[in-house]
Amino acid sequence: DTGVSQNPRHKITKRGQNVTFRCDPISEHNRLYWYRQTLGQGPEFLTYFQNEAQLEKSRLLSDRFSAERPKGSFSTLEIQRTEQGDSAMYLCASSLALGGGTDTQYFGPGTRLTVL
């Protein structure tokens, strides 16, 4: 399977614990995005990387959230001191930007986080 992959698929944690999610983009895609989706809502943008550079962060991304993309390949999203409000589906997407700003984003299966 050459699509976007995410691990783990499900994570249940207790409030206050730290969690880390991983995203492996489609090979050679230079852009990688993180979104969060709650029940009944569309995905909301969190942050985005072009290669290894993090170019934008949403104000939704509090200081408890950090994302990295070392070497411009896979990415990790860490949430520190989780809160019940962090419970959501965390989606990763990747795209190949060739210029012109019309790259298509392809989504992974998501990581469903439940904070007890």
Partner 1 sequence: EDKVVQSPLSLVVHEGDTVTLNCSYEVTNFRSLLWYKQEKKAPTFLFMLTSSGIEKKSGRLSSILDKKELSSILNITATQTGDSAIYLCAVLGNTGTASKLTFGTGTRLQVTL
> Rule CB under 8 A: which residues touch partner 1?
4, 31, 33, 35, 40-45, 48, 50, 55-56, 58, 91, 93, 97, 101-110
Task: Decide whether 73 or 107 has the Cβ nearer to partner 1.
Answer: 107
For the chain, helix (H) and strand (E) counts, in that order, are 0, 11
Minimum Å distance from CB 16 to partner 1? 29
Question: Are residues 99 and 90 in contact, defined by beta-carbon separation less than 8 angstroms?
Answer: no
Sequence-separated (6 or more) residues with CB below 8 Å from residue 112: 9, 10, 11, 88, 89, 90
Task: Decide whether 68 or 103 has the Cβ nearer to partner 1.
Answer: 103
Minimum Å distance from CB 9 to partner 1? 9
